[in-house]
Structure 1
Amino acid sequence: MEAVRVENPPEFKEELIRFVFRVYQGTGGAYPALEWVENKPSTDDFEGFRKVYEPFLEFRLEKEFDELYVLRDDDGKLVGTVALVYNLEGKDVWWVPEEIKNEKTGLIEFFMVDPAYRGKGHGSRLLNFAINRLTELGRDAYVITFPELEAYSYYIRKGFTKVMDYREFVVLRYG
């Protein structure tokens, strides 16, 4: 299985919404955090999830992600995703602290693996791919996440170190 670049991410939106909802269900509603939503949809309410998540996803696909990659199983089912954000100038990335906004910064975003596929090395494969791709681009790999998520300890195990707390997030850097 190899990460494949999505050439036109907005056209891929419908499949991504369904994939992210599977992740939402599989994490008991923990991820994505939907931190801007006062009353989060239940994990069995796809239409409620779509209503709150689709505009956010559209924004990210059209205006934020510089590259989007997917991992599929042998049957073509979407197993994982990772996005890279490295052209920060002119983007509304309020969640990125000014201290790290520069031409060397590369963010690993939208990093998810379908819970049904966890524990099989797919996350490691995607994360290593993202780190290597950012290195090719001359960027330092950063992750901005929530400290209470399971992902936080995962990133630490994979070689990221905490750089700072920022708002409700924690900023991690690889290496």
Structure 2
Amino acid sequence: MRIERVDKPLKLKDELVSFVFRVYRGTNGAYPALEWVEDKPSTDDFEGFREVYEPFLEFRLGKEFDELYVLSDGNKILGTVALVYNLEGKDIWWVPEEIKNEKTGLIEFLMVSPEVKGHGYGSKLLDFAVKRLLKLGKIPYVATFPWLEAYGYYLRKGFEKVMDYREFIILRYVVP
């Protein structure tokens, strides 16, 4: 298993929608949270999920992510992570103005397929993302929800809470 950069993320859109739906099913609809959707699709409704998630994913792939990485077994995507560090001019409403600057690097889209959860792939992707952002001279941040399992995970992995922002919690990596 290798982490590989995706040069043309929009070309992977359909495969990524399917991957994210597997995560959605595996988390019983907890992630992605689809917080902008009033009537969330059931975890058995792929077409309903695609209808609400695909436009958001297309925006992220085309206009938000500065770098996208996938972990695959050669046949299918098993994990993803995206980096966002050129924040100027981007409409990323879930990031507070207080941290929108040239030193900020966001870790986004960190997901592992349910069938490989618990095998260390999430840690591998997170470690990779942190190291990449630090190499770029950025301070790694994460926006997550307080009720997600990911919140405690990030705290165990060296992040600290910076603030509550809207429905999110903003975390910053603490360099050891």
Q: How far 1:156 moved relative to its partner? A: 0.4
Give the whole-Å Cα distance in 1 for the aligned partners of 2:136 and 2:117: 28
Aligned to 1:136: 135
User: TM-score if structure 1 supplies the norm length?
Assistant: 0.98
Q: How far 1:77 moved relative to its partner? A: 2.0
User: TM-score if structure 2 supplies the norm length?
Assistant: 0.97
Aligned to 2:69: 69
Give the whole-Å Cα distance in 1 for the aligned partners of 2:55 and 2:117: 27
**SS of 1:3 mapped into structure 2:** strand
Give the whole-Å Cα distance in 2 for the aligned partners of 1:58 and 1:92: 14
Deviation per CA, 1:46-92: give whole Å up to 9, x if none.
0000000000000000000000000012x422110000000000000
Aligned to 1:164: 163
Give the whole-Å Cα distance in 2 for the aligned partners of 1:103 and 1:20: 29
What percent identity do the matched residue pairs reach?
A: 74
Give the whole-Å Cα distance in 2 for the aligned partners of 1:51 and 1:88: 27
Matches within 5 A, 1:4-83: 4-73=4-73, 75-83=74-82
Q: How far 1:95 moved relative to its partner? A: 1.0
Aligned to 2:121: 122
**SS of 2:2 mapped into structure 1:** coil
Q: How far 1:14 moved relative to its partner? A: 0.3
Amino acid at match of 2:91: D
Aligned to 1:147: 146
**SS of 2:171 mapped into structure 1:** strand
Q: How far 1:17 moved relative to its partner? A: 0.1
Q: How far 1:151 moved relative to its partner? A: 0.4
Give the whole-Å Cα distance in 2 for the aligned partners of 1:86 and 1:7: 16
Q: How far 1:170 moved relative to its partner? A: 0.3
Q: How far 1:2 moved relative to its partner? A: 2.0
Give the whole-Å Cα distance in 1 for the aligned partners of 2:121 and 2:75: 14
Amino acid at match of 2:89: G
The list of structure 1 runs, each at least 4 consecutive aligned residues, that deviate by more than 6 angstroms after superposition, is: none
Aligned to 1:98: 97
Gaps in structure 1 of 5+ consecutive residues? none
Amino acid at match of 2:129: A
